Amino acid sequence: MGSDAPAVLLLHGFGTSAARTWGDNGWIDLVGDMGRTVIAPDLLGHGSAPKPHDPAAYAQLGPRIAAELPEDGQPVDAVGFSMGARILLELAIEDASRFRRLVIAGAGANLLRKGESTLVRRALLGEADLSNPVARYFASLADDPEADALALAALLTFFLVHALYIFLRHVFHFLAFTLSRHTIPVLRILTHFSLSLWIYEAFT
């Protein structure tokens, strides 16, 4: 594949980083071997990105990623996992012209469930019953040397406090997106199984 092919944006999920999600598993190398430019930023509050403890700061979660897109306005192919998938969908709905193809992984009903976010937030702050496997997993993320539990909790607080506003904003942009009749090929993956193969097939 030639160098004129679009860049590929990789967005990791909640509580991890671009290096852990895409680098350690070899996906950055895989996409690079296809001759593609890789854009793999850390989400706000994660990895090497700033980690504010003020929930209001996370209003910049999406705009920070949008700022990573090519300055010349050329569309990218993009892969988002979990929270990364949520942000990717938001950006695509707001400006579909920035994307050529999307791979949405690990994004299901939890995108709209408040209870799950509350449980995760309590786990990060050490307030959850660790007999719950979900709580136990997210509590373990707080022990990672590069993690900041207060920053991650602040991010979730932002989503919980502004849930209605975010939902209504998404509805508005989705209606505008639908009326524009702009279409983007989207591949939705529900599990980790063979994700590298799916990425390869989606972008070749």
Instruction: List, for residues 38-52, the tens digit of each pLDDT value.
Output: 999 999 999 999 999
Q: Would you say residue 170 has pLDDT above 90?
A: no
Instruction: List, for residues 17-42, the tens digit of each pLDDT value.
Output: 999 999 998 999 999 999 999 999 99
Q: Would you say residue 108 has pLDDT above 70?
A: no
Q: Please give the single-letter amino acid code of residue 11.
A: L
Q: Would you say residue 112 has pLDDT above 60?
A: no
* Distance in angstroms (rounded) separating the CA atoms of residues 90 and 108: 14
Domain boundaries, the chain: 8-202
* Residue 40 dihedral angles phi and psi, to the nearest 5°: -135, 75
pTM (predicted TM-score): 0.81
Supply the CATH classification number for the domain 8-202: 3.40.50.1820
DSSP per-residue string spanning 11-43: E--TTS-HIIIIITTTHHHHHHHTT--EE-PPP
Whether the CB-CB separation of 133 and 109 falls below 8 Å is answered with: no
For residue 114, the cross-strand partners are none
Reported confidence tier of residue 184, pLDDT bands at 50, 70, 90 = low
What pLDDT does residue 66 have? 96
What pLDDT does residue 67 have? 96
The residue that leads in pLDDT, 120 or 48, is 48
Q: What is the mean pLDDT of residues 172-179?
A: 59
Whether the CB-CB separation of 44 and 74 falls below 8 Å is answered with: no
Q: What angle do CA 168, 172, 178 make, to 5 degrees?
A: 140
Whether the CB-CB separation of 15 and 123 falls below 8 Å is answered with: no
